[in-house]
Chains A and B, each alone.
Chain A
Amino acid sequence: MTTALEQELKEMIIESLELEDVTPEDIDPEEPLFVEGLGLDSIDALELGLALQKRYGITLESDGEASREHFANLKSLAALVEARRVK
């Protein structure tokens, strides 16, 4: 069951990363976003960080390990947004 926030994040990912042939249904909330699963790369991670900042006012710390956990999959990304959003 996809929550409204997860749906919103799926659309943000597709739009900000210009994923030509990906639909929201293709993104499994439990699957890895990076490398395996959706197959995003390090440039996408930077782009996603920028999108989170613009849309939700979230500034990620430069700690790579924490970011890795936040960006693990759509569920962890939604948890990050819920906990830290300021807009």
Chain B
Amino acid sequence: MTELFLHDWRAWTPRRQVPDETRLDSAAKPVGSSVPAMLRRRLNLVGRAVCDMLPALDPQANRVVLHASRHGDGDRTLELLYTLAEHDPISPARFGLSVHNAIVGVYSIASDSRRSQQAIAASGAEWAALTIEARGYLADGENEVLVVFADQPVPARFADYAPETESAAVALRLGSRPAPGARRLHVTADQTVTAVQPPQPLDVIDWLMSGHTALACPMTHRRWQLDAPV
């Protein structure tokens, strides 16, 4: 089976302050400087963060991008639903930015990337879906792929139907071969993984920074562990 190696990563969340960790951005509002202002105005906080992280990991913008979010932009979607309920015409811009591939779409325009992009939602198995998709692209001949996992709090109206979610986004550059400083990513099947909550972006960030714990997905009965750097 195609192996996975973590080559590099970036993350954003105002929920963690780690001054020594340069790969983590804790700003309340990410700068989004790689995106021209006229495009940037349409991005939410997660979108600005993603558009900061991807150019840092892939300055030439020639990697495939896999973007997962469990809930997407719940605020914009809910606003559209309220508007429809009032029988008012809906905002084309809000609609355009409410779709699940909106953020990577803006990234592709800003970075002039013509590579494949995939938008994923998996009811809590986003991390597992990302690693499976990444393995597929790597097995198909890609040297490296970019995987992104990002979410924001769901609107209060949906709070009873979704787990509490923090604003966080994480982007990883994965490859199938070791490179200096890369870490091998192990996955193991484990039927006992049932009690934990589905991993959210913030859990992935904590896992990346912790160095030794495992990340577990109850829906797919899998655990992921990172080796020490090569």
Measuring CB to CB, which residues of chain A are less than 8 angstroms from any residue of chain B?
17-21, 39-41, 43-44, 46-47, 50, 53-54
Contact = CB atoms under 8 A, between A and B. Distances in A.
A17 B93 CA distance: 8
A53 B89 CA distance: 10
B18 interface: no
B195 interface: no
A50 B90 CA distance: 8
A50 B91 contact: yes
Interface stretch (B35-43, B60-68, B119-127, B163-171): B35-43
A47 B91 contact: yes
Contacts of A40: 38
A50 B37 contact: no
A40 B41 CA distance: 12
Contacts of B41: 17-20
B96 interface: yes
Given A21-B37, A43-B92, 12 more contacts: A17-B41, A17-B93, A18-B41, A18-B42, A20-B37, A20-B41, A39-B38, A43-B93, A47-B91, A47-B92, A50-B89, A50-B92
Counting from the closest, the 3 A-B pairs by CB-CB distance are A46-B92, A20-B41, A39-B38
Nearest to A44: B93
A39 B39 CA distance: 10
Contacts, number: 27
Interface of B: 37-38, 40-42, 89, 91-93, 96
A44 B184 CA distance: 46
Nearest to A54: B89
A17 B42 CA distance: 9
B37 A47 contact: no
Nearest to A17: B93
B89 A47 contact: no
Contacts of A41: 38
Contacts of B38: 39-41
Contacts of B89: 50, 53-54
Contact of B96 (A17, A19, A20, A43): A43
A54 B87 CA distance: 13
A17 B91 CA distance: 10
Task: Pick from B40, B89, B91, B96 the residue with the most CB of A within 10 Å.
Answer: B91
A21 B42 CA distance: 12
24 contacts: A18-B41, A18-B42, A18-B93, A19-B41, A20-B37, A20-B40, A20-B41, A21-B37, A39-B38, A40-B38, A41-B38, A43-B92, A43-B93, A43-B96, A44-B93, A46-B92, A46-B93, A47-B91, A47-B92, A47-B93, A50-B89, A50-B91, A50-B92, A53-B89
B96 to A, nearest CB: 5
